[in-house]
Amino acid sequence: MTMIHYLPVANRSSHRPSSSGWLHRLSDHVAARYAAWRRAKMLRALEALPPETLKDIGWPTTDNSRISVIRR
């Protein structure tokens, strides 16, 4: 049985660069890319589940034979 856990992480580090320079923008960009990667990974795991399991967890149904999720 596959278990999917989603625990949103607001901020991995309490230390932020003091300047609003390139390092701050770079760290924000890296954090956004990491969040997008995790979101895509979670959606791929959900899409891989059989329709019966998706129904059991309350995932919305669709008329298509393959469930697709709109990605951001």
5-41 pLDDT, tens digit each? 666 655 555 555 455 688 889 999 999 999 999 999 9
One-letter amino acid at 56 equals D
Burial (Cβ within 10 Å: 0-12, 13-18, ≥19) of residue 60: exposed
- Any domain includes 4: no
- Any domain includes 49: yes
Question: What total number of domains does the chain contain?
Answer: 1
pLDDT of 17: 47
| Domain coverage including residue 41 | 21-72
pLDDT band per the 50, 70, 90 thresholds, residue 72: very low
pLDDT of 55: 87
Separation between Cα atoms, residue 67 and residue 49, nearest integer Å: 10
Residue 68 has pLDDT above 60, yes or no: no
- Any domain includes 63: yes
Residue 67 has pLDDT above 80, yes or no: no
One-letter amino acid at 42 equals M
Beta strands, E only, 1-72: none
| Those residues with Cβ within 8 angstroms of residue 33's Cβ, 6 or more apart along the chain or in another chain | none
Separation between Cα atoms, residue 41 and residue 47, nearest integer Å: 10
